[in-house]
Structure 1
Amino acid sequence: MIGSPTIIHYSPLTIHYLPICITFAVMIDVLLNKGKEKAVLQKHPWVFSGAVEKVKGKPANGDVVRLLNAKGDFMAYGFYNDQSRVALRLLEWEEAIEINDEWFRRKLATAIKSRTHVLANGTNTCRLVFSEADYLPGLIVDKYAGHLAVQVLTSGMERVMPVIIDELQKLLNPESISDKSDNSSRAHEGLAEAENKVLFGNPPPEIVEVLENNIVYGINITEGQKSGFYCDQRDNRHIVANYAKGKKVLDCFCYTGGFTLNSLKNGAASVTSVDSSALAIETLKENILLNKLDADKHTAIKSDVNVQLRKFRDDGEKFDVIVLDPPKYAPSRSALTRASRAYKDLNRLGMLLLNEGGLLATYSCSGAMDMESFKQVIAWAALDAGKQVQFIYQFHQPEDHPVRASFPEGEYLKGLLCRVF
């Protein structure tokens, strides 16, 4: 068990971060290689280290620098980091606009305001800030009822966290703000491992109850990096539940029960939930009781999903609706070939367990795999399973996980609702 979180109160009197109000007079220039201007002109926020021709000085990692083209003309301001493949994360393309603490406050306020309507109609949890999509590269902020969880994933954003924490307090008056940073992402930036700590307020309770689509989830936001709850499937859980009434449903990689709870609430005849995590299964059972759903219609199985699917196949088990929501199989493009094989085998097994005309809701959260590639993988799986498939709906991440037009890499979640014959 992880011990009690360290409480760290950020205030202007106690912070010892470097100042973030940077004057243009001392800002260091970074020159692009000739011919590397196109992506910058198209407002893509990343400049890779191989595109940098020269750094005129020695900026510290996390400094804001000026990006110039090979002729010396201004192109953008951005965070600098010589430890990362992404040497610059661009912030602003207008030379006259100063990058200071007020700039970050404005971007944060704009992101939060754009989610106001999401936090209504039976929902009090969502993503308030989504990194590059909200022009704040390396910052993720999730709201869980009255509590906030932040992830700080770039050296530049770590430098401005005192301002971010202060503005979150002013805008939202949260009960607590906790650091839930993903250490694998921080490692790519040369950052130290994050601690499980409270940045503002008192430690949140062991279980925080959140509301999504009028369903209650008890989640733990004090242990580890994950909360046991993913708000990026909010819309998709509701859509799949519309097909579950009177059906026999199988929810694979169920975690703490998003698809299971929605299906039971919408009148599924039965739901079987499979996950390898004992803690996830126990939390799911508690969530069923919390929502006063019919536990007699639910079966929870702690098992490796691929192993369990083969057991179902060997036992002749069949289902009307199957949900496959696996973890990220392709963390990078280099892993895409191996991941495609894993997705194909998983979906082939799922198809073999469906009744004639049954529905497969299948997902990939691998940003390296685009929708067309995912469709091809499902087509291969159908061929191997001896099945015919109709794509009847395409799933996407919800609006609190927006995709910036100039940054298509932000579109990581995709899924397909398939009718299988």
Structure 2
Amino acid sequence: METLDYVPLRLKKNEERRLLAGHAWIFSNEVDVEATPIRSLEPGQPVTLQDSRGRTLGTGYANPNSLICARLVTRDADHPFGPSLLVHRLKVALSLRERLFEEPFYRLVHGESDGLPGLVVDRYGDVLVAQITTAGMERLRDALLSAFEKVLRPSAVLWRNDSPVRSLEGLDLYVQPATGPIPETVEITENGARFQVPLLAGQKTGWFYDQRDNRAWLRRLSTGARVLDLFSYAGGWGIQAAMHGAEQVTCVDASADAVAQVEANARLNRVDDRVQALAGDAFEVLRRLREERARFDLIIVDPPAFIKRRKDLKEGTAAYRRINQMALQVLARDGFLIACSCSQHMAADALEKQIHAAARHVDRQMQILSRGGQASDHPIHPAMPETAYLKAILCRCIGQ
């Protein structure tokens, strides 16, 4: 039995319905604060969740300072939330990835979808990069390190706890080595290409494994093509396009460090003679390319989330339309566009609608060839639409 100190957290009448349907979040307005005052709890407090009649629904943790005031981790009364459950869930997550992938380069833990809310872990061989986003998981930092050691015995673990989401939980932001020497870069392979991935100075947890399956589209599209890779980061799209026969690739990113990484990865894969990297704002670069009457046969638009909060929906939606419309203005006749969104608040059909509207504005007809989502190491919880965030649309844009 775990040694954590669990306290009861009782819900109002009928507020357990969403939990019983499979969801794992409890909002503050669903709690019976007279029976169990939320404000008396500590951030990250282990709790036993109860319905209005006091029946146990499971165990998890709470945070009185967050709108999501509690998260259900397990419904099994015999195996409550705690250190040994962390080990078990890690083993289950690892067994899935080992079945899916031949090499140890993947997202090992994807939050609620792997039964570990508030935790993301990316694996780079024997190096782990972990990100904690909730107070409940923060309280178990030492237990997590112990679980990593029991299950994987990594040579190094990096805490990449600099996500702004932590502020909503009242947590500090930091990037900190946990164990072992952290290499400046690690090498991974994806779809036959090799990449040097920056860990300490890279974006988020280092690499965007979630686009792995969508980048496989490039095998069929790249031969002889002029390719434009916008928001390229370390060149995940552009380098693979060059390796699959692209005639010329232009990668664009606002970060000078990312541009340097693209150049290094192009040399690593011996395609540097066909890959050019530009530092600049994607909107400004597209404006200049249009003035120069540049044309590309394949354009990838894979921006950071334009819609981080629901209140950003209108402005962010307009940004998706604008960037794709500008891309279409430099897309060659009958060219291919891969348009992506990692904004959880934007539905896939909404992204398609904006691209279609952009195509009509520039007098092009859009054909949708394929729809993609996040790779299988980013599983989706069927009761939690919040875990499905990535959209990728492969389309061809032809004249009238």
TM-score range, shorter chain: over 0.9
Unaligned runs of 5+ in 1: 1-18
| 1:181 aligned onto 2:161 | yes
Task: Indicate conservation of the 8 Å contact 2:60/2:81, yes or no.
Answer: no
Aligned-pair distance for 1:262? 0.5
Q: Distance in 2 between matches of 1:95 and 1:226?
A: 35
Aligned partner of 2:149 among 125, 146, 169: 169
Alignment of 1:253-332 (within 5 A): 253-293=231-271, 295-332=272-309
Aligned-pair distance for 1:192? 2.1
| 1:43 aligned onto 2:25 | no
Partner of 1:89: 71
| 1:377 aligned onto 2:340 | no
After the TM superposition, which parts of structure 1 deviate over 4 Å for at least 4 consecutive aligned residues? Answer: none
| 1:243 aligned onto 2:221 | yes
| 1:127-185 Cα deviation digits (max 9, x unpaired) | 00011110101111111122111001111111222222112112222110010113411
Aligned-pair distance for 1:92? 1.7
Partner of 2:54: 72
Give the letter for the 2:327 counterpart. G
| 1:320-373 Cα deviation digits (max 9, x unpaired) | 100000011001211111111000011111112112211000100001111111
Partner of 2:364: 387
Secondary structure of the equivalent of 1:210?
A: strand
Task: Indicate conservation of the 8 Å contact 1:20/1:101, yes or no.
Answer: yes
Q: Distance in 2 between matches of 1:42 and 1:234?
A: 31
Question: Quick check: 59-68 or 175-184, which moved more?
Answer: 59-68
Aligned-pair distance for 1:79? 0.8
Aligned partner of 1:53 among 32, 43, 62: 32
Alignment of 1:205-244 (within 5 A): 205-223=183-201, 226=204, 228-244=206-222
Aligned-pair distance for 1:87? 0.3
Task: Indicate conservation of the 8 Å contact 1:28/1:56, yes or no.
Answer: no
| 1:140 aligned onto 2:120 | yes
Task: Indicate conservation of the 8 Å contact 1:118/1:126, yes or no.
Answer: no
Percent of residue pairs identical = 32
Give the letter for the 1:376 counterpart. K
Task: Indicate conservation of the 8 Å contact 1:277/1:302, yes or no.
Answer: yes
Q: 1:100 and 1:227, CA in 2 relative to 1: closer, same or farther beyond 3 A?
A: closer
Partner of 2:176: 197
Q: 1:296 and 1:27, CA in 2 relative to 1: closer, same or farther beyond 3 A?
A: closer
Q: Distance in 2 between matches of 1:45 and 1:68?
A: 13
Partner of 1:106: 88
Task: Indicate conservation of the 8 Å contact 1:365/1:414, yes or no.
Answer: yes
Partner of 1:341: 318
Q: Distance in 1 between matches of 2:218 and 2:269?
A: 19
Secondary structure of the equivalent of 2:317?
A: helix
Give the letter for the 2:99 counterpart. H
Task: Indicate conservation of the 8 Å contact 2:106/2:377, yes or no.
Answer: yes
Aligned residues: 395
